[in-house]
């Protein structure tokens, strides 16, 4: 299994980052080994009735990296490229993310290999419910709490809640987060990840003594995270000049409007062809000059091929794992880019998921202002702690963030001991 995982490029990247941090922290061999490998790797075959009468079998995965600090927390992804190695890598990153943010969770991630754009909503419902039914014995509010990720949203969480609650014979909203608000989802959860990305970008601008109003940005990806990052940056008076998604990339020197662009995407399925813009090459877009570059799509898009050519002042990693290790080394060597590492930059989502779970457990609800204020306080604390750690240890923010995250987990492992 170790070899199989390591042969996946995304897991290889997460494991490589871990090894570097473990060396930096001087972790002893026992704790290092226990921290690195996932606790549970679950695979499900999911037979589904398709609309045309055929039965199709999909494969779904859930990796629970650790249960040492609390229940496992993390998203469920629908994407054609999902495989067990990628899911295991994303689970490991969730682990360090929850730990870095001081949330009482281990990391988890799930995925179903499918292209949601080719599935009708009824097919997606049957697929999600089948997955929820199969995985029910292995999840629960104190075991594993899922949330939306690439290709899923609050509706998918509602189906999981309904399937799980039906099986339990009672309403269990705290089994998932990122639910619709009428099903006890939290106010502010939908925009939380993008809001956090934009908020942290302003904190980085402050540190660089650059004004927020008029600061320029480029965003790769216009899903939930990218679109709310653009919306919040617009609200801060920043100018988002370039946006891309699977349909292509668009540019407007004066800035793009999140609301109008979202409407266009709802009508046409992508950002391409947006009236107030000119089309550009998506790869070239990443290399244009800007204050803040936001990769908000998938893994491994900043590589050794483009890292030396980036012309941003801040790299705000809204996606999980967007920068490969060789690219990291180039960015560190350059020393002229302020890196907001993924496990901090996109932690707004899981932080508000934690708030949602806490509200659910208390059968209580907070207002949107309360939620977003609490979120900003938590992100700001983690940001300042990280900068302090990096200054003290003379290290970059990638290594620093991972080191804080891994160190908390390692201490817990050490203190709990090894049974038997
Ligand atoms: N899928 C999101 C992430 O990668 C959120 C996870 C959650 O809210 O549990 O951080």
DSSP per residue, 249-289: EEE-TT---HHHHHHHHHHHSSSTT-TTSEEE-HHHHTTS-
Asked if residues 230 and 254 have their Cβ atoms less than 8 Å apart, the reply is no
Residues 248 and 165 in one domain: no
Report the separation in Å between the CA atom of 148 and the middle of ligand 1, taken as the mean of its atom positions. Answer: 7
Compute the distance between CA of residue 319 and CA of residue 297 in angstroms, rounded to an integer.
Answer: 5
Element (H, E) at 194: helix 189-207
- Closest ligand 1 atom to Cα of 77: 1
Residues 164 and 206 in one domain: no
Residue 116: both structure tokens together: 């949601």
Compute and round to an integer the Cα radius of gyration of the chain.
20
Q: Is the CB of 73 under 6 A from ligand 1?
A: yes
Compute the distance between CA of residue 339 and CA of residue 270 in angstroms, rounded to an integer.
Answer: 28
Asked if residues 397 and 339 have their Cβ atoms less than 8 Å apart, the reply is yes
Return the residue matching tokens 């803040």. 292
| pLDDT given at position 420 | 77
| pLDDT given at position 419 | 80
Residue 236: both structure tokens together: 């801060």
Q: Is the CB of 144 under 6 A from ligand 1?
A: no
Active site residue 309: no
Q: Extract the runs of DSSP E, i.e. beta strands, from 270-357.
A: 278-280, 290-295, 312-316, 338-340
Q: Is the CB of 186 under 6 A from ligand 1?
A: no
Q: Per the domain annotation, does 314 fall within a domain?
A: yes
Q: Extract the runs of DSSP E, i.e. beta strands, from 9-117.
A: 40-49, 55-64, 72-79, 106-113
Compute the distance between CA of residue 48 and CA of residue 364 in angstroms, rounded to an integer.
Answer: 37
Q: Which of 210, 231, 211, 229 is nearest to 220 (CA)?
A: 229
Asked if residues 91 and 38 have their Cβ atoms less than 8 Å apart, the reply is yes
Q: Is the CB of 356 under 6 A from ligand 1?
A: no
Q: Per the domain annotation, does 372 fall within a domain?
A: no
Return the residue matching tokens 């999600």. 128
Residue 260: both structure tokens together: 């109008």
Compute the distance between CA of residue 401 and CA of residue 345 in angstroms, rounded to an integer.
Answer: 10
Residues 170 and 41 in one domain: yes
| pLDDT given at position 105 | 98
Backbone angles phi, psi at 115, to 5 degrees: -110, 105
Q: What angle, rounded to 10 degrees, do the helices at 325-334 and 9-25 form?
A: 50
Structural domain span for residue 103: 2-6+36-174
Q: Is the CB of 74 under 6 A from ligand 1?
A: yes
Report the separation in Å between the CA atom of 96 and the middle of ligand 1, taken as the mean of its atom positions. Answer: 12
Report the separation in Å between the CA atom of 89 and the middle of ligand 1, taken as the mean of its atom positions. Answer: 13
Q: Which of 294, 322, 297 is nearest to 231 (CA)?
A: 294
218: domain CATH number is 3.40.50.720
Residues 47 and 164 in one domain: yes
94: domain CATH number is 3.40.50.10860
What's the domain count of the chain? 2
Q: Is the CB of 317 under 6 A from ligand 1?
A: no
**Residue to substitute in 178, 224, 322, 382 for testing ligand 1 pocket (most ligand atoms within 8 angstroms of CB):** 178
Q: Per the domain annotation, does 24 fall within a domain?
A: no
Compute the distance between CA of residue 119 and CA of residue 400 in angstroms, rounded to an integer.
Answer: 41
Report the separation in Å between the CA atom of 61 and the middle of ligand 1, taken as the mean of its atom positions. Answer: 16
Return the residue matching tokens 């617009």. 234
Residues 53 and 168 in one domain: yes
Q: Per the domain annotation, does 389 fall within a domain?
A: no
Asked if residues 401 and 100 have their Cβ atoms less than 8 Å apart, the reply is yes
| pLDDT given at position 347 | 98
Asked if residues 272 and 223 have their Cβ atoms less than 8 Å apart, the reply is no
Report the separation in Å between the CA atom of 44 and the middle of ligand 1, taken as the mean of its atom positions. Answer: 21
Which residues, given as ranges, of the chain have pLDDT below 70?
A: none
- Closest ligand 1 atom to Cα of 353: 8
Residues 197 and 325 in one domain: yes
Asked if residues 296 and 229 have their Cβ atoms less than 8 Å apart, the reply is yes
Backbone angles phi, psi at 146, to 5 degrees: -85, 165
Catalytic residue of the set 36, 73, 97, 109: 109
Residues 58 and 125 in one domain: yes
Three-class DSSP category at 396 = coil
Report the separation in Å between the CA atom of 320 and the middle of ligand 1, taken as the mean of its atom positions. Answer: 10
Strands 106-113 and 55-64: antiparallel
Q: Is the CB of 346 under 6 A from ligand 1?
A: yes
Q: Is the CB of 149 under 6 A from ligand 1?
A: yes
């Amino acid at each position: 299994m170790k070899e199989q995982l390591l042969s996946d490029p995304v897991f290889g990247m997460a494991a490589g980052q871990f090894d570097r941090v473990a060396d930096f922290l001087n972790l002893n061999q026992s704790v290092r080994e226990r921290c690195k490998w996932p606790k549970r790797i679950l695979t499900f075959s999911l037979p589904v009735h398709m609309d045309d009468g055929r039965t199709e079998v999909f494969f779904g995965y859930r990796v629970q990296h650790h249960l040492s600090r609390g229940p496992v927390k993390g998203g469920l992804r629908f994407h054609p490229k999902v495989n067990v190695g990628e899911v295991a890598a994303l689970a490991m990153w969730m682990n360090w993310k929850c730990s870095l943010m001081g949330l009482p969770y281990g990391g988890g991630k799930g995925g179903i290999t499918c292209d949601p754009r080719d599935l009708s909503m009824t097919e997606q419902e049957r697929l999600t419910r089948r997955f929820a039914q199969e995985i029910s014995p292995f999840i629960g509010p104190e075991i594993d709490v899922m949330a939306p990720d690439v290709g899923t949203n609050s509706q998918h969480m509602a189906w999981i809640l309904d399937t799980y609650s039906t099986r339990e014979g009672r309403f269990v909203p705290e089994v998932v987060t990122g639910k619709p608000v009428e099903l006890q989802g939290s106010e502010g959860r939908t925009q939380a990840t993008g809001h956090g990305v934009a908020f942290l970008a302003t904190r980085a601008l402050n540190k660089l003594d650059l004004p927020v109003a008029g600061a320029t940005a480029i965003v790769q990806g216009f899903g939930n995270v990218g679109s709310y990052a653009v919306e919040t940056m617009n609200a801060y008076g920043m100018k988002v000049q370039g946006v891309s998604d699977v349909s292509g990339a668009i540019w407007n020197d004066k800035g793009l409007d999140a609301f109008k662009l979202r409407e266009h995407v709802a009508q046409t399925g992508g950002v391409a062809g947006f009236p107030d813009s000119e089309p550009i090459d998506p790869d070239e877009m990443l290399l244009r000059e800007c204050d803040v570059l936001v990769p908000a799509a998938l893994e491994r898009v900043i590589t050794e091929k483009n890292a030396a050519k980036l012309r941003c002042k801040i790299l705000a990693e809204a996606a999980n794992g967007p920068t490969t290790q060789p690219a990291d080394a180039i960015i560190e060597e350059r020393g002229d880019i302020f890196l907001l590492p993924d496990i901090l930059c996109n932690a707004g989502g899981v932080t508000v998921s934690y708030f949602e779970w806490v509200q659910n457990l208390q059968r209580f609800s907070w207002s949107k202002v309360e939620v977003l204020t609490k979120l900003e306080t938590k992100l700001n604390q983690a940001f300042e702690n990280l900068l302090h750690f990096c200054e003290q240890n003379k290290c970059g923010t990638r290594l620093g963030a991972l080191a804080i995250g891994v160190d908390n987990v390692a201490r817990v492992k050490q203190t709990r001991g090894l049974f038997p």
